[in-house]
A and B are shown apart, each in its own frame.
Chain A
Amino acid sequence: MIQLKYIEHDGTSHTVTVEEGMNLMEGATLNMVPGVEGMCGGICSCATCHCYLPEERLRSLPEAGSGELAMLEAVEGRRGNSRLGCQVVVTAALDGMEVRLPKSQGVGS
């Protein structure tokens, strides 16, 4: 199991364990971490698992695909280190990573 620390926009942090092979969205939703919606269940179609990853970890990850980049166009508060959690698979290399969450996942009519 891999340990991850999700940090909400107000600084509240949640340290959880996640099985390898699951993704960062599931790491949050399966542990009921607030601040990640994961509305579409991981098919990269809702952009409600937006998160910010540390630059040095980001570099070691496979790059975001075209579908993820297109969805990221629509998120609020996009930064250089923005990713969609559902597209980042948890591996041993991510152990101990801090995942920062945005203020809003932009849900709501």
Chain B
Amino acid sequence: MKQAHLDPYDHRFHWDPYPQYQALREQDPVYYNEELGIWLLTKWEDVNRAFRDFKTFINTGAVSLEPDSGEKLPFPMFIFSDPPDHTRVRNLFAPLMTPDRIRRLEDYTRRKAVELIEPHLRGGKFDFVADLGCFLPMDVISSLTSVPKTDQDKVRGWADDLIAREDKQHDLSERNVSGYMNMATYFGEHAAKHADGPYGDDLIGILMRSEKDGVLRRDQVIGTLILLAIAGNETTTKLIGNMAYRLWQHPEQRRLLVEDPALIAKAVEEVLRFDGSSQIIVRRIGQDVEMRGKTLRKGDRVGLCIISANRDADKFPDPDVFDVRRGSRDHMAFGYGIHSCLGAALARMEVRVVFEEILKRMPDYEILEERLARAHNPNVRGFTHVPARFRPLPDA
């Protein structure tokens, strides 16, 4: 049998990584990629253990796949830290990100989604990512960070620069670093502008008040704003594309949602499990640990293959079946535990609202498969273009 191998930078791999992940789960679930110098965990149980045991699997100096990203990207993001520092910073924002608070953004999100959809209804053509997915999450997160509409395209362009990877590009490129530095410069000015208040009840308000109170330094404020621009944007954008694609691939499932829109929230959970947009998240080993007969040494880097864990047959019955009524709660698309995605409720709300509005207006959309295009990044997985045709609205 050919030995299972996996290069998370391989562009071909991004199109359908699931068979390779399955092979790894079956043949070598604690796999060491010599070329990249990284362990990859592919089973739900192992990934879950790594998420929970935060003393053995640490975030300081990890999270992204490139080992030198800490030096090249110097503004501290709390995702790259561990308790108790991590907990203190995270808790500043957590109250803002609960489902109850996020509900306040729902009307705004729906209005924006409709504004993005409506102009296309008479033409019968729509690109789920290029016409909607890439704008909506940036718009909503910007409403919390006070980034004006006129700057949003610019910030999104830099975020795209930061995450873009050429085929098998294993190191950060000049484009990646300059995207990051452009964001750092922009958010440096942005922070200076808001430093003296007024401190509103939103993310920028909390950030700047925390700085004034001596809880955060300016470089942490800038790092957090960059993190929000990436995390609040790229992953949800990609999830919208993945959901559009999977519902098209499974018309009988899509029909269930058209007939009963109350199921859409559950369908979002199934897309998160079946085809989540966050592929791998990295940890560093804090103390030697044995896993399935292998020893991971202190300082080693280890990739938690979330989208593989979520297809593990030992956890989910018929894992490769897309079932919008499945309702599994413990998929790890947003991670698990203390580092779990702070924006999870926001992402869930955004994607649900988008498909509530989409399925009302174009329940019969057909994706033009040959024109699908992908973003290539080892962490974030999804499309840049998901063009579709649908029955146009008749002229009035």
Interface residues of A (CB under 8 A from B): 19, 21-23, 26, 29-30, 32, 37-46, 65-67, 70, 86, 107-109
Given that A21-B88, A30-B87 are known contacts, is A108 also in contact with B330, CB under 8 Å in the complex?
Answer: yes
B99 within 8 A of A: yes
B337:A21 contact, CB within 8 angstroms: no
Which residues of chain B in 43-71 are interfacial with respect to chain A, using CB atoms and an 8 Å cutoff? Answer: 52-55
Residues of B within 8 A of A29 (CB): 52, 337-338
Closest approach, in angstroms, between the C-beta of B102 and any C-beta of chain A?
A: 9
Residues from chain B with a CB closer than 8 A to the CB of A66 are 100
Tell me the interface secondary structure of chain A in the complex. loop
* Distance (whole angstroms) from the CB of A32 to the closest CB of chain B: 8
Instruction: Identify B98's interface contact among A19, A39, A43, A108, CB under 8 A.
Output: A43
Contacts of B295 in A (CB 8 A): none
By a CB distance below 8 angstroms, the chain B residues around A86 are 94
Residue B336, interface by CB 8 Å? yes
Chain B contact residues (Cβ within 8 angstroms of A): what range? 35 or more
Which 4 A-B pairs give the minimum distances between C-beta atoms?
A: A67-B100, A41-B340, A109-B328, A44-B98
- For B100, the closest partner residue in chain A by CB is A67
Say what secondary structure dominates the interface of chain B: loop
Contact A109 B315 (CB under 8 A): yes
CB-CB under 8 A from A23, the residues of chain B are: 91
Residue among B83, B315, B337 facing the most chain A CB atoms (10 A cut-off): B337
- Known contacts A109-B317, A109-B330; 15 additional CB pairs below 8 A are A29-B52, A30-B84, A30-B87, A30-B338, A38-B338, A39-B337, A41-B90, A41-B338, A42-B91, A43-B98, A45-B99, A70-B100, A108-B330, A109-B327, A109-B328
Q: Establish whether residues B91 and A109, one from each chain, have CB atoms under 8 Å apart when the complex forms.
A: no
Query: Which residues on A sit within 8 Å (CB–CB) of B101?
Result: 67
Residue pairs across A and B with Cβ atoms less than 8 A apart, 6 shown, are: A26-B87, A26-B338, A29-B338, A30-B87, A109-B327, A109-B330
**0/1 interface trace, chain B 300-324, chain A, CB 8 Å (1 if under):** 0000000000000001110000000
